[in-house]
Structure 1
Amino acid sequence: MRRKLAAGNWKMNGTLAGLDMLADVAAAMDSTRAEAVICPPAPYLLPAVTKAQGTPVGIGAQDCHAEPKGAFTGDISASMIKEVGATYVILGHSERRDAYGETDADVAAKAQAAWDAGLTAIICIGESEADRSSGTTLDVIAEQLAGSLPDGCTGENTVVAYEPIWAIGTGKIPTLDQIVEVHDFIRATLAERFGTDVSDALRLLYGGSVKPDNAAEIFKVDNVDGALIGGASLRAADFVPILQALSAA
C-alpha cells in the first residue's frame, strides 16, 4: 500500500521563527497513515532539519542543480541537500519551468542527480489554462511524463505531483472528474512505461489551491495519494487539518 504524503512547498516565503510550526505538525501526525514533508527556502534547510530531528516530519529542498559541483553561482547540488539531512527535493515546478525556462530534459537531469545523491524527487507536471481550454491536457501531461522522468524511476526515488498551472495560488481547482481523469491517466502511462509494479508503488500528489476546506474531498479520489501544498503549508493551523484529512482518507 502506498503511504500517503503531504508535502509543503514554502516557495520564497517563511522565516526562521516560522519553523516552530514543525513541532505542531509532528504532534498532530499519525505517521503510520501519512508522511509529512516541509520544503522551506534553501537558507532554512539545516535549521529545519535540526528542528525536525527525532520527529516523523521530513525536510526537502525546492530545487537542485543537475551537476554535483562546479561554477554555478547561486545553485545548490543534490549532495549538499542530502548532506544537511534533507531527504526530498521538488523538481520541475511550473514556476521554475516558466520563470527560468526549465525544460523536461532539465528536470530529468536534475531528477537523476537527486537519485544519485539518495534523495527522493517530487517531479511536478501540469497544464496551463490554454492547454485545458484547447483540450490538450492529456497530451501535455504525457509529454511531460515522458521527458521529465528518467529511466530507473521507482516508488522509492520518485513522487509525481500533478499541478494544473491555472489552479496554483488562484483559489481555482479542477472538478473532481478532471482530477480523476488526469491521475488515472498518469497511473496508466507510468504502468505502460515502467510496469505495473513500479506504477502501483509511485505516489501521485495533487497540487493547486489545496486548503483545509477542500482537502478531504480531493483525498477521496482514487489515485490521489496526497498533496503538494503551497501557501497552506506555512502555518500549522492550515497544514495540520490537511494532514489530518489525508490520514483519514
Structure 2
Amino acid sequence: MARKFFVGGNWKCNGTSEEVKKIVSVLNGGQVPSPDVVEVVVSPPFVFLPEVKNSLRPEFHVAAQNCWVKKGGAYTGEVSAEMLHNLGIPWVILGHSERRAILGETNEFVGEKVVYALSQGLKVIACVGETLEQRESGSTMEVVAAQTKAIAEKIKDWSNVVIAYEPVWAIGTGKVASPAQAQEVHNELRKWLAANVSPEVAASTRIIYGGSVNGANCKELAGQPDIDGFLVGGASLKPEFIDIIKSAEVKKSA
C-alpha cells in the first residue's frame, strides 16, 4: 500500500514575528514536489498559528505543538483541542520527548491526549523514541512498543495518526540514527502494528523519522523502505527545509 511522504517542521519555542514572516516567505517561494507526492505540515508556537495558517501557501498545513487532554475550563496555560479545531488547525504534535522528559508526560497520558484530540477532529503526529541509555541497554523496541501500545489500546481508527520515531539521543544533538538504525526501528514498529493492531494499519500508517534531520542526510534516510518522511526540528527554521521536502522524490522514484 502506497503511503504518501510526510514532512513536518517543528519550530518548537522559536521565532519572532519578523522571523516567522521570513520562514513563511521561504516556504511560499520554494519549489517542492506536488501535494500528491508529499504532505507538508509546519508547527509554529501557539501564538503564531493563525498568522502562519493564513499566510502559508494552501497546500502546506499547520500543526499545534501540543493540546490539553480535556475540554477547556480551569486549566491555566493550556490550549484545548476544541480551540485548535475552531481555528481550523488540522494537526497536533503529541508525546514529544521534550514534554515527556521536562513535564513528565507518561505513556498513558499521551495515549489519552491522542484519543481526545482525534475525537475532536484533529489529526495527530504521535511521537515515540528511546533515550541513549535505553538504546545502549538494548531496550529500544521495548520502550517504543510500550509508548505505541498506550496509544493503540485507546484508538480504533488510525487513518489520522502519523507515528514519529524520534530517538531522544538524536534530537538537537547533531547525532543522527544511521539509515540502517532508523529503518530497523521503523520496520520493527510496523511489525508490532501488524501483530497487535492489524496488518492493514501496519501497511497504511506512516512512520516518520525525527532527530537531527537536515538537507545533507535526508535523501539517504528517505530511501529506506519503512521511513515515510520526517519530523524536522532546527532545520525546519532554515531554507534547507525545502531540500528536506524535496527528498520525497527519492521515495517517489523508488
Please confirm whether the aligned pair reaches a TM-score higher than 0.5, indicating the same fold.
yes
The separation in 2 between residues aligned to 1:153 and 1:5, in whole angstroms, is 22
* Residue pair 2:69, 2:116 contacting (<8 A) in 1 also: yes
Aligned residues: 247
- 1:78: Cα distance to partner? 0.7
2:79 aligned counterpart, secondary structure? coil
- Rounded to whole Å, the distance in 1 between the matches of 2:41 and 2:158 is 16
One-letter amino acid of the counterpart of residue 222, structure 1: P
Residue 43 of structure 2 is aligned to residue 39 of structure 1: yes
Q: Which of 145, 157, 165 does residue 168 from structure 2 map onto?
A: 165
Structure 2 match to 1:124: 127
SS in 2 for 1:28: coil
Name 1:16's counterpart in structure 2: 17
Cα shift at 1:150: 4.3
Q: State whether structure 2 residue 248 is matched by structure 1 residue 246.
A: yes
TM-score relative to the length of structure 2 = 0.93
Confirm or deny: 8 A CA contact 1:111 1:150 kept in the other structure: no
1:200 aligned partner: 203
Q: How does 1:137-156 map to 2 (within 5 A)?
A: 137-156=140-159
Structure 1 residue ranges without an equivalent (≥5): none
Residue 5 (structure 1) aligns with: 6
CA distance in 2, matches of 1:66, 1:47: 25
Provide the residue aligned with 2:222 in structure 1: 219
Is 1:90 the equivalent of 2:122?
no
1:72-91 correspondence to structure 2 within 5 Å: 72-91=75-94
Correspondent of 1:59 among 59, 62, 68 = 62
- Code of the aligned partner of 1:24: V
TM-score w.r.t. length of structure 1: 0.95
Does the alignment pair 1:25 with 2:38? no
Kindly indicate whether the alpha-carbon contact (under 8 Å) linking 1:154 and 1:202 is maintained by their aligned counterparts in 2: no
For each residue in 1:51-80, what CA deviation from the matched residue of structure 2 results, as whole angstroms up to 9, or x when unmatched?
Answer: 12x610000000000001111000000111
- Letter of the aligned partner of 2:244 in structure 1? I
Three-state SS of the structure 1 residue aligned to 2:240 is: helix
- Does structure 1 retain, via aligned residues, the 8 Å contact 2:152–2:197? no
In structure 1, distance between residues paired with 2:82 and 2:192: 30
